[in-house]
Each structure stands twice: as C-alpha cells, then as structure tokens.
Amino acid sequence: MSLEQDRASARGDVTDDEVREPSEEERAAWARVCRTATGMRHHEAKAALEAARETARSDTLTGQEALIAGAEVEEWERITEALADHAGAYDPDHDPFVQGELTARAHRTETAARRR
C-alpha cells in the first residue's frame, strides 16, 4: 500500500476492502501545508493546526471545501506530531513521509510511462 493510500485509508469512510486514492485537491492541500509549515517550530505548527481545525468546523464549507479543509487538518496534525519529537524547524526535505510520497509518485509515473 502506498503512503497516500495509507493516509486515505485512515479516514473513517473507507473500509479495509476499498482504498480511495486521494484527489489532486487533497494532494495540493497537503503540499500547500508543507510549504506553509517550512521553517515553523512545533508551537507555530500547533497554532496553525488549531486554525485549520477551526476552519474545518465551519458550517459554511461546501463538500469540496470541507474535503480540502480536512486534508489540511490531517497534514497539520502529521507535521505537528513530527515536530513534537524534534527541536528544530520543519523541513519537507527531511520529512520521511513527504520523501516517501515523492518516491511513490515518481515510481507510479515511471510505471505508467513503461506501460504506454
């Protein structure tokens, strides 16, 4: 199972038998959070997480907006947890999860190109 599938399967609406691939909008939200978090320390990421949770709780979000807000919360939670054991600032270049996603995406692209 890829890291993205693993992240998607953590959601409550997906059963063990079905794994929903994350949408491009969710991937974009994760990337946006990573860019925003770059250079942040734990307390800053925690504040951003709380702000993202507040946004996600809004009753005015449409279905797509709610999906994106949820993806942002998930990524802020992951980054905040990663920084809890780390005294430094967040750097996606040293984030094993992000690097694993990039490797998996490159592998999928390479595999798809070979099938053509």
Is the pLDDT at 79 greater than 80? The verdict is yes
Cβ-proximal residues to 39 (8 Å cutoff; 6+ apart), any chain: 89, 90, 91
The average confidence (pLDDT) of the chain is: 86
Angle between helices 63-84 and 24-37 (to 10 degrees): 40
Confidence of residue 1 (pLDDT cuts 50, 70, 90): very low
The one-letter amino acid code at 14 reads V
Which has the minimum average pLDDT: 5-14, 50-59, 87-96, 104-113?
A: 5-14
Per the document, the length of the chain is 116
Structural contact between residues 97 and 58, judged by C-beta atoms closer than 8 angstroms: no
Is the pLDDT at 16 greater than 70? The verdict is no
Span 73-87, average pLDDT: 93
Cβ-proximal residues to 83 (8 Å cutoff; 6+ apart), any chain: 40, 41, 42, 45, 90
* Residue 17 CB neighbours (<10 A): 5
Tell me the per-residue pLDDT of 56-73, one tens digit each, with 9 for 90 and over.
999 999 999 999 999 999
